[in-house]
Structure 1
Amino acid sequence: MTFRAKQSVRRFILGTAALACACAGTLSAAAAPANLAYDKPAPTINPKLTALSKAMQPKVYKVSNRVYVAVGYGDANSTMVIGDDGLIIIDTTESLTSGRAVEAEFRKISKLPVKGIIYTHHHMDHLGGAAAFVQPQDAMSGKVTVISQADTMKLLASSETAKANPLFTRDIMTARFAYMFGAYLPKGPEGVVNNGTGPAMVAGPVGLVPPNKLVDDTLDVTIAGVRLHIVRTPGETDDAISVWMPDLKMLATGDLLMGETFPNLYTLRGAEIRNPITWYRSIDRVRAFPAEYLVLSHGRPALGRDKVASVLTNHRDAIQYVHDQAVRLMNKGYGPDELAAAISQLPPHLRDDPYLAQFYGSVSSSVRQLYASYFGWFEGDPTTLNLLPPKDRAQRNLALMGGEAHVVAEAQKALAARDYRWVADMLTDVIRVNPSNMNARKLKAQALRQLGYAEVNANARNWYLTSAQELEGAPLQIQNDWFRGVASPQARVAQFNAMPGRAIIGLFAPRLQAERTLDVHKTLAFVLSDSGDQAGIEIRRGIAEVYTQAPPSPDFTVSTTKAALARLAAGDTTLAHLIESNAATVQGDRQGAETFMSYFDPPLKDWSDLHFTTR
């Protein structure tokens, strides 16, 4: 990793730690043994979700005499391997709060010092608690070995390796994330039950310790006398790794298997398809190991050679089944809706596997996204090449259906008949034409609530119930402390400040208000004194071209720091305020520079302003 990349990672760590400390109502380590999931039966919860919650009761499972896994102390698990003279920790949960709770339980079993940390991939629920187990200076000195895949820190700290920059869509993605994880819902029988893969994310300061040993494709290393064969196994993420310990006959797969659930080949918050062929081939790679113990980073471990083989084989077979059967039906002309109707369940022998319930991933969502990954949006009917605008179509449909009042009356009948999907469907046009029709909105909300109560998929349940709340006109207020920290303005500043200056400047381009700049042709340069970066933006008739070096002949030059630029990009300040506070200077016309920056949309201040059901 370059010096600049290391500096970016350190800034990211410090920033996320600072913002997480500001979270209110964090869970203390002493309180961790209480179940973080809602585990009481209720008529408003699918019994399978309740059973899953009960399985998430915090507990340290003894896998073998030298391997223990802590389940339920945070969203992800943490595994302890006892070596000859030290411990190896595989994944560390999401925060110091949850990490300390796990560390306290592990210390009841072994007092040996931690000699190694392994991050299975870059998602924060796997690495945010590392400093509960080791001191960062011990990793920097090499006293403790901290291992990750070569791209893990780059993926965590910035978006330079992403195919599509996720920060371009941060506003809408954060809003969708809130719906998916139930950030606006209370925990309980009419709200969040669990996360599908784990009980809940535990708020608290982040204690990430940067790695000092990187894996490209494979790594053989011995720590505390334990031989480790580490292999890259991309699936949910491209940087995923699995750990095989031949002397212990133990395999740790991270999120290659996502727990007691079908994997999320597609996630409702939005993403490209996680390549199913790559995923099941990665599982095939670890199936070659004669494992007798299988430890996952979500869910309970699998013990016994036959059980481990069955879990691995069924998981890869489920992924291949969904992919291959979707492709087979695509070749018969099926579109995404038809695929979802035809392939909503796995075959019985896979459906009944307790590690393949659709708690987190969804078969029907996966086949829809598979269609999009192969063909894009167009299904072949040229009618859709130039459709009427949605509201216009809705108005005409309503006229054919007898008007709003008639449709609402029919919806009431369908609701009484418990035909909830049809109720939600028929009222969509009414609400699109007349969002103030509260009768229609409340009827649709009732239907969505019933669909949510019956759902086994935690993400779908949360989305149904949040949309019902939106339809009823209730304010969408964050109920989740962890999400409150992630969605805070400080989090956005910390994330942007971890990026190179030229990458921060690149975030402005897709925010340009093209309609205001069709006759504008100006260039602004940024000179960043702390990082040494020089870059700029040229607005050219509705397009913002980003220069990763000093642009030629700029009309304005803004001299500032990268930290101030991060605040500007995050909407935490304005150019005028930076100038007035002596945090920036302008060479050229100051008013012209301020007008130039006003052409870019600021980020959203409140993600609850983005509604999905009342548009």
Structure 2
Amino acid sequence: MLKIPSRIQSMIPLILLTVSAATIAETPVQATSIARTTAQVSPYLDFKNSEDHDFASRGFIATRTDPEIKDESGKVVLDLREMDYLNLEETKKTINPSLLRHAQLLNEAGLFAVTENVYQVRGFDLANFTFIRGDTGWIVIDTGSSPVTARAAYELVSEQLGSFPIKAIIYTHSHADHFGGTSGLVSQAEVDVGKVEIIAPQGFMEHTIQEWLVTGNAMLRRAQYQGGPALPRNATGYVSFGLGNRIPHGSWSLVAPTLEINQPVTKHSIDGLELVFQLTPGTEAPAEMNIFIPKYKVLDMAENASPMMHQIYTLRGAEVRDAAFWAEQLGESITLFGDKTETMISSHGWPRFGHTAVISYLEKHRDLYKFLHDQTIRLINQGMNAEEIAHHIELPESLAGEWYNQGYYGSVIHNVRGVYQRYMGWYDSNPVHLAAIDPVVEATQYVKAMGGRERVMEQAQTAVRDGNPAWAAVLYDKLVMSDAGDHQARNRLAKVYEGLAYAQENALWRNEYLTAALELRNGIPKLKLGSLTDSSILATLPSESLFDLLSVRLDPTKVKGNNAEIDLFFTDLNEHFRISVKNDVMWYQSQPVKAAGKDADAVVRGPRGAILGLIMAGQKSPKAVVSGEEKKVEEFADWFETPNPRFPLVWRDR
């Protein structure tokens, strides 16, 4: 029988919550389903330490008088009151106390003075909005994920500090919660005429598109588990995203940079203020940079040093980060700016004040990622696989005793797996895993081998009663995978997942368990989440990126071995592409306009939007003019599928 090793309980110092086995097995999960086990309180964490509370509240100026942030239609995009329940007594029963402390710190919302002429609006979005006063206007670092919340942040700044124009916007990196709100602050026209400079790290557009466009449908679906948008905002539901608490509804925007920083260290003056940029590609994001403001001795560490352990591997799915390089870049930041820095800010969480506090914070953050990297490699070379290493590594007390190194977003367990994956890949050299059995077939055979459904159900209930919910979850999962229509097994698995969720220090693990429980009971909810495939964002992307998206939607079962050569002439952009399908593979090639139609089955001329509407959505338009074999174009358009945004994750529909 699988049990959680005792070393896991001390791997990330926290106060664990223990699932009440009888309650999970027999009754709906209520706030009393779990109880604190004081014997498992970590000796490392000091709940009496108030430094973070001081830092998180320092410099508060004001917040909105109306807590509801609405879009132009009157729809509430974010309600600043939605997390008020975190201060209720009942939360202590169903939220890990370490996570509760962290979420309460992140709940501070409003305008804060960091130091002279440097301000932050925190709690209006997942990421912070940083406003720096130049000679004539504002320099804004990061714009959140929503144009609506970005506009609300700017309005609060103008109301409290005076109305000044935005002179420049800086994207610290290529994740949507740092650029998605830009259109709420400035217009594309202002950028086009040079009124506003948009600055980003080298490769920003490429990596923004690469990470979210091609696999965006799957990432967005998995992000629903990671972020918990369908969960109720109460003590038995969503608590935090780890990086922040509040995530606005609605769509993103994307305004392309006018300047990309392309040197390791670059000085650049904006509106009379000198900034120093440190490129850190391949740390928390493929395109990222830190920013130092010499005049005010402020170091902005982007998302490279947030007040929690970050993710080496992100649960939504993405390219694994390089933990060793991340640590090196933190060390480089100390070398470049450490002796000049008095205050540190970041894209998430609260500032650090005082030279000594900043340096200690950066050093221990650096050593955290280096430790995870080095010890994972050491154990790889001892012959351990990813799971064995994840259950073996323990942080030293000097690192584990810092609140800002706790696993609220990343965790030792899933970060170690990420390091392993980066170096060794999926295979562990056990041949049984070479041709792994289909999960539904495996689950069905598993249930049969254990003596059938009733026997597995009995063993799962015994595991719950014995205080081993992790093993109970494995058994119930086999039942659900073998028969998605087994509602009794689904409900019992949901109860176990809820109990496991309440025990988590990691905000994302809590969200994953609770979202799985919700879907097991109620099915997959319909959610509208912003993505790079929103029409307003697609319109801004290069044609090549759209063809990359189209090529991974080609369905061989629809193509059936047919070939096609289609010329597309985008008259509004003066672009011409030859699209070829052969061997059930799509290729595209930019060609001179004069070559249009040569050896092609058909030519389509018109504005890009009309042509892509025809091909990607079957929307005919008089603006998209077809010459040649019109039926071939219709046939070609039918070869592409639209991804299912609501595919199941914890069962299979077959």
TM-score calculated relative to the size of structure 1: 0.85
- Are 1:47 and 2:97 counterparts? yes
Q: How large is the Cα RMSD of the aligned pairs? A: 2.9
Say how many residue pairs are matched. 571
Matches within 5 A, 1:155-170: 155-156=207-208, 159=209, 162=210, 166-170=212-216
1:585 aligns to 2:625 (yes or no): yes
> 8 Å contact 2:200–2:259 — kept in the other structure?
yes
Using the TM superposition, give the Cα deviation of residue 137 of structure 1 relative to its aligned residue in structure 2, in angstroms: 5.5
Cα displacement (A) at 1:401: 1.0
Find out whether 1:272 has 2:319 as its counterpart.
yes
CA contact (8 A) 2:279 2:290 kept: yes
* Equivalent residues of 2:605, 2:611 under 8 A apart: no
Question: Aligned runs of 1:268-347 on 2, under 5 Å?
Answer: 268-288=315-335, 289=337, 290=339, 291-343=341-393, 345-347=394-396
Aligned residue runs from structure 1 range 196-595, under 5 A: 196-203=242-249, 211-217=257-263, 218-234=265-281, 235-257=283-305, 259-288=306-335, 289=337, 290=339, 291-343=341-393, 345-478=394-527, 484-486=528-530, 491-549=533-591, 553-568=599-614, 573-574=617-618, 577-578=619-620, 581-595=621-635
Work out the CA distance in 1 between the residues paired with 2:626 and 2:242: 51
Secondary structure of the structure 2 residue equivalent to 1:539: strand
Structure 2 distance, partners of 1:551, 1:347, is 67
Aligned to 1:16: none
Code of the aligned partner of 1:610: P
SS at structure 1 position matched to 2:213: helix
Over 3 Å counting, the alpha-carbon distance change for 1:166 and 1:203 in structure 2 is closer
Q: Deviations over 1:589-614 (max 9, x none)?
A: 3333322322222233xx22333344
CA contact (8 A) 1:175 1:608 kept: yes
Name the counterpart of 1:481.
Answer: none
- The Cα of 1:334 is off from its aligned counterpart by 1.2
Counterpart CA distance in 1 for 2:349 and 2:550 is 41
Instruction: Give yes or no for contact 2:564–2:632 (8 Å, CA) kept in 1.
Output: no
Shift of 1:325: 0.7
- 1:172 correspondence with 2:218: yes
Distance 1:91-1:493 versus aligned 2 partners, 3 A rule: closer
Aligned amino acid, residue 445 of structure 2: R
Task: Please report how far the alpha carbon of residue 23 of structure 1 lies from its aligned counterpart in structure 2 after TM superposition.
Answer: 8.1
Match of 2:111 among 35, 55, 60: 60
SS at 2:144's partner residue? coil
Distance 2:585 2:444 in 1: 35
Matched, 1:598 2:638: yes
Look up the SS of the partner of 2:296 in the other structure.
coil
- Provide the residue aligned with 2:122 in structure 1: 71
Question: Are the counterparts in 1 of residues 71 and 77 from structure 2 also a CA contact under 8 Å?
Answer: no
1:183 aligns with one of 213, 229, 236 = 229
The Cα shift of 1:266 comes to 1.1
Is residue 611 from structure 1 mapped to residue 649 from structure 2 by the alignment?
yes
Q: Kindly report structure 1 stretches of 4+ aligned residues shifted beyond 6 Å.
A: none
Name the CA shift for 1:547/1:403 in 2 (closer, same or farther; >3 Å): same
Deviations 1:409-437 (A, max 9, x none): 11112223332110111222222222212
Deviations 1:438-459 (A, max 9, x none): 1211111111111112112222
Q: Distance in 2 between matches of 1:39 and 1:358?
A: 22
CA distance 1:197–1:86, shift in 2 (3 Å): same
Per-residue CA deviation, residues 546-595 of structure 1 (Å, 9 max, x unaligned), is: 334368622233334311244356x5x31xx41xx424333333333322
CA distance, structure 1, for counterparts of residue 614 and residue 244 of structure 2: 36
Cα 1:299–1:36 shift into 2, 3 Å? farther
CA 1:153 to 1:541, structure 2 compared with 1: closer, same or farther past 3 Å? closer
Letter paired with 1:393: E
Q: Please, which moves more after superposition, 190-199 or 301-310? A: 190-199
Instruction: Quote the residue 2:59 is aligned against.
Output: none
For 2:316 and 2:74, locate their aligned partners in 1 and report how far apart those are by CA, in whole Å.
25
CA distance in 1, matches of 2:85, 2:168: 30
Asked if structure 2 preserves the Cα contact closer than 8 Å seen for 1:22 and 1:485, the reply is: no
DSSP 3-state at the match of 1:402: coil
Question: Residue type of the partner of 1:533?
Answer: E
Range 38-47 or range 286-295, more displaced = 38-47
The residue identity in structure 2 corresponding to 1:588 is: G
C-alpha distance in 1, partners of 2:253/2:538? 19
Query: How many Å separate the matches in 2 of 1:169 and 1:63?
Result: 38
CA drift of 1:79 comes to 2.3
Are the counterparts in 2 of residues 139 and 210 from structure 1 also a CA contact under 8 Å? Answer: no
The aligned residue for residue 110 of structure 1 is 161
Sort the Cα spacing of 1:512 and 1:36 in 2 relative to 1 into closer, same or farther, 3 A: farther
Q: CA deviation at 1:333?
A: 1.3
Q: What CA distance in whole angstroms lies between the structure 1 residues aligned with 2:446 and 2:227?
A: 34
Matched residue type, 1:374: Y
Task: Name which of structure 1's ranges 296-305 and 208-217 shifts more when overlaid on structure 2.
Answer: 208-217
Choose 277-286 or 381-390, whichever is displaced more. 381-390
* Counterpart residue type for residue 97 of structure 1: V
Aligned-partner residue type, residue 361 of structure 1: G
Unaligned runs of 5+ in 1: 1-19, 479-483
Instruction: Tell me which residue corresponds to 2:151.
Output: 100
TM-score, structure 2 normalization = 0.80
- Identity over aligned pairs, percent: 28
* Superposed displacement of residue 83, structure 1: 4.7
Partner of 1:10: none
1:336 partner amino acid: A
CA separation of 1:57 and 1:311: change in aligned 2, threshold 3 A: same
- Point out the more displaced range, 426-435 or 455-464: 426-435
In structure 2, runs of 5+ residues without a counterpart are 1-69
Q: Contact 1:229–1:243 (CA<8 Å) still a contact in 2?
A: yes
2:188 pairs with 1:148:
no
- Equivalent position SS for 1:599: coil
Residues 124 and 515 of structure 1, relative CA distance in 2, 3 Å threshold: closer
Write the letter of the residue equivalent to 1:411: A
Which is worse superposed, 542-551 or 388-397?
542-551
Equivalent pair of 2:597/2:603 in contact (CA under 8 Å): no
More divergent stretch after superposition (242-251 vs 115-124):
115-124
Contact in 2 for aligned 1:37/1:199 (Cα 8 Å): no
* More displaced 10-residue stretch of structure 1: 221-230 or 426-435: 221-230
Provide the C-alpha distance between the structure 2 equivalents of 1:132 and 1:563, rounded to a whole number of angstroms: 24
Instruction: Indicate yes or no: 2:174 matched with 1:127.
Output: no
Q: Say whether the 8 Å CA contact 1:293–1:303 is kept in structure 2.
A: yes
- d(CA) in 1 for partners of 2:102, 2:436: 44
C-alpha distance in 2 between matches for 1:535 and 1:125: 33
Pick closer, same or farther for the CA change 1:211–1:173 going to 2, 3 Å.
Answer: closer
Aligned-partner Cα distance in 2 for 1:22–1:556: 43
The alpha-carbon deviation at position 503 of structure 1 amounts to: 3.2
User: Shift of residue 338 of structure 1?
Assistant: 1.0
In structure 1, C-alpha distance between the alignment counterparts of 2:540 and 2:84, rounded to whole Å: 31
Contact 1:284–1:316 (Cα < 8 Å) also in 2: yes
Contact 2:280–2:290 (Cα < 8 Å) also in 1 = yes
- Residue by residue, what CA displacement relative to the aligned partner does 1:36-84 show, whole Å, maximum 9, x if unpaired? 8855424222222222222122143333233332221221112233456
Range with greater deviation from structure 2 (375-384 or 118-127) = 118-127
Q: Contact 1:522/1:540 (CA < 8 Å) preserved in 2?
A: yes
SS of residue paired to 1:559: strand
For the Cα contact (< 8 Å) 1:35–1:72, is it kept in 2? no
SS at match of 1:355: helix
